[in-house]
Amino acid sequence: MGRYGDVDYPTLTKRATLCSLALVLGGFLLADAGPALLGSLPGWAMTVAVDAEALGALGIVLCPFLFGIVLPLTE
C-alpha cells in the first residue's frame, strides 16, 4: 500500500478534469445564455460566471498534471 492509501489516480484525474470542464461550460452558459433567458443579470452573477470559467480553465490545465503525474510519482 502506498503512502496515501489505495488512491485510484486515473479515476481521480478524469473526474477532476470533467468537473473543471463542467465549471467552464456552466460559467459560459450563465454568462452568454443567462441574459437571453433570464433578462439582465446582476453584476455579482456575471462575476460568478467569469470566475467559474477561470477556475475551470485552471483546473483543466492543473488536474491532469497534479493527479496524473505529480502525486503518483510521490507514492
Q: What are the pLDDT digits (tens) for 24-61?
A: 999 999 988 888 888 888 999 999 999 999 999 999 99
Q: What are the backbone dihedrals phi and psi of residue 5, each rounded to the nearest 5 degrees, phi first?
A: 85, -155
How confident is the model over 61-71, as a mean pLDDT? 93
Q: How confident is the model at residue 74 (pLDDT cuts 50, 70, 90)?
A: confident
Return the higher-pLDDT residue of 43 and 6. 43
Q: What is the pLDDT of residue 2?
A: 58
pTM: 0.83
What is the per-residue pLDDT for 53?
95
CA 34 centroid distance within chain: 20
Nearest one of 64, 36, 32, 73 to 49, comparing CA atoms:
32
Distance CA(62)–CA(23), nearest Å, equals 14
> What CA–CA distance (Å, rounded) separates 42 from 45?
5
